[in-house]
Amino acid sequence: MGADLLTITLAAGMGTRMRSFIPKVLHPIGGRSMLAHVLSLAVELGGTKNIVVLGPELEETQETVVPAQICAQTVIQTQRLGTAHAVLSAIDHISSHDGNVLILYGDTPLLTIETLRKLTASLDDGADIVVLGFDAADPTGYGRLLQDTDGSLLAIREHKDADERERAVNLCNSGVFGFKADKLPDLLSRIKNDNANGEYYLTDTVELAKADGLEVAIVTCRELEVLGVNSRQQLASAEKIYQCRKRSEVMEGGATLLDPDSVYFSYDTKIGKDVLIEPNVFFGPGVTVADNVHIKAFCHLEQTQIGKGAAIGPYARLRPAAVIGENAKVGNFVEIKKSTIEEGAKVSHLTYIGDARIGKNANIGAGTITCNYDGFNKHFTDIGEGAFIGSNSALVAPVKIGDGAFVGSGSVVTRNVDKNSLAVSRAKQRQIDDWGIKFRRMNKSTKVKKQESS
């Protein structure tokens, strides 16, 4: 069992390159904010206390920045004077903590739990400071990890302050640090801002620690893990990397993606075994898919549960609180919202089902809609087991269709229909002989008169 862990996530950056009214760290990757991705790692890692450092413009809304399901506290960095200054905003928490401290960043959402466990393990094994480094394809702009001949870390030099020899180093600083809590306050108190940016760098703790005889370790990871998001282009790059991970995870779990690059998942998408997903399918947050489901092309799903053996699409939209039962069918151009489609029921084409229950083995004909909204309130439609709703029917809620009942095609149903009964609500069909001949003759005559007058 490792030492108690305090995590501090720095999220005070303005993110001006995003050109957005939304704080940078709240932009989403895989359906949730970058900050939430990082905080979820902190929780999974076992952080006994998790702190988020925010900028002053978020002080009034700080309670809404951290997702409700994630246990974290916020502190405000009143001035942006560098990374060490940001960490100092949480000094009260650091000083009262007995264990390890991990410094994370709210705009680095691709870190993995395996890498962070390596950092905390290094601290537990005796390091006083551990730095997360990576080999950069292009190190321009990154701080360099300067090592002694034996490979030990001597210092971290920011790019602007590095000389030509130091800039030739490819091993770079990710910004992620681990510290023994009892060493950090003193190190922070001695950091100066005599550098090109006039800022207080957290990286200066390395040289100070080496001078004190403390043990400084390096843990490395892949460059993609520590991609920082500072622009819309980098946001798109991070999304692409994240989606590649999720697609691999889903396929390794036993699902088939016919065209993986065209399928998009959310952070919490759960896919069962032997699920077949056709191209161009989008999963919003909150979707759970059981085994042996077939999701056809061009479907959009969010906050939805799909039971075993169900078939969805193509071109289906499942909105929040849609529950699709085992072996049910939701066909092309069907929209389901806040409704339960029970086992074996079929909603095959061109239909809207909202605020409803479709009973076991019921059949909903093409063009049917549940009229659930009266302009002020939503109302419920209940369709019983084995019921048959004819095509192009409008069910005006609140209304109940009994088990085994039939609704004739083209009906507008405004009253309950009893079990095993037939409801028909439409005008009696009439036939007017030769009406078409008279209609065409009349219109041709009118057209000739218009041409003559012009």
The catalytic residue positions are: 349
Per the CB < 8 A criterion, the answer to whether 364 and 382 are in contact is no
Q: How far are the Cα atoms of 18, 30, 55, 56 from residue 14, in angstroms, in the given order?
A: 9, 22, 8, 10
Structural element, H or E, at residue 289: strand 287-289
d(CA 336, CA 301): 10
Give which of 240, 230, 237, 288 is closest to 260, Cα–Cα: 240
Per the CB < 8 A criterion, the answer to whether 9 and 26 are in contact is no
Per the CB < 8 A criterion, the answer to whether 288 and 305 are in contact is yes
Those residues whose C-beta lies under 8 Å from the C-beta of residue 151, and which sit 6 or more positions away, are none
Per the CB < 8 A criterion, the answer to whether 355 and 370 are in contact is yes
Structure tokens at 264: 């998009």
d(CA 127, CA 178): 9
Beta strand segments in 311-368, E: 311-312, 317-318, 322-324, 329-341, 346-358, 363-364
Per the CB < 8 A criterion, the answer to whether 271 and 255 are in contact is yes
CA trace torsion 61, 67, 72, 76 (10° rounding): -20
Structural element, H or E, at residue 83: helix 83-88
- Provide DSSP, 114-139: HHHHHHHHHHHTT-SEEEEEEE-SS-
Give the side-chain half-sphere CA count within 13 A for 202. Answer: 26
> Taking the chain, what is the end-to-end CA distance rounded to the nearest angstrom?
95
Phi then psi for 292, rounded to 5 degrees?
A: 60, 30
